[in-house]
Amino acid sequence: MGDASSLGFGHFLAQSDIVARVLLVVLAIMSAISWYLIVYKGIGQVVRNALSRKFLAFFWSATSLEEVQRELDLRGASEPFGHLTAHSLHALAHHEKYGAANLEEAGSRQEFLTRTIKKVLDEETTSLENGLTMLATIGATAPFVGLFGTVWGVYHALVAIGMSGSGMLDKVAGPVGEALIMTGIGLAVALPAVMGYNWLTRSNRVLTAKLDAFAFELLTFLSMGQALQGSALGRTTRPGTAALTTVK
């Protein structure tokens, strides 16, 4: 089995069979995917939040929805709040111009706006959740992949020790300890995935809650032509700003 000084990760790789090496490759791929998702989604979340704050500051300071429409036509919608507003304004203009021309547009203006807003909210929620299932899967399965590698390594180590006829502690502890490397690797892969999943999930939940509140206010503007004056949401969302006027 070699002396204690020769034991370690290098010795483990040299002595491992095809199953152990495949498991190592699988764990390496899982780690690469989880870190890619964490970094990509994390950067996207930071950029999205910054753009959303910028758009909301403009929206609540605008004097009319026509001004908001011009800004969206000029710069486009690059974050959830702008995306929701652009689709809602388009739905309002379309319904006022063409009315209920087919089943998709059936119902009153408010019903059509409500369906449009609900559809956009579902699309944004789906977009935010992309990749999170993979992160959760990696966080849940990586320790078991590592544990399987440990069990496989311990089995072969004990078989080799039994065939050698030496049951001394120093002959047993080294190979078994090397087999535990796989469990450590599995945990090292799982921990960032679980932490990243929890962080992204909470961040998405906060953003979705803000988007739902904004959608309610936006629907009120478009369907009733007034803000929720005196409401708690109106006071906390845009203190000191005037109510927007609807597009005529």
pLDDT single digits (tens) 77-127: 888 998 898 888 888 776 666 555 554 555 566 777 888 889 999 999 998
Of the candidates 126, 130, 127, 136, the residue with the CA atom closest to the CA atom of residue 34: 136
Residue ranges covered by each domain of the chain: 19-237
All residues at 6 or more sequence positions from 152 whose CB lies less than 8 Å from its CB, including other chains: 19, 20, 23, 179, 182
* pLDDT value of residue 247: 44
Confidence of residue 188 (pLDDT cuts 50, 70, 90): very high
Confidence of residue 242 (pLDDT cuts 50, 70, 90): very low
| 248 vs 99, more confident | 99
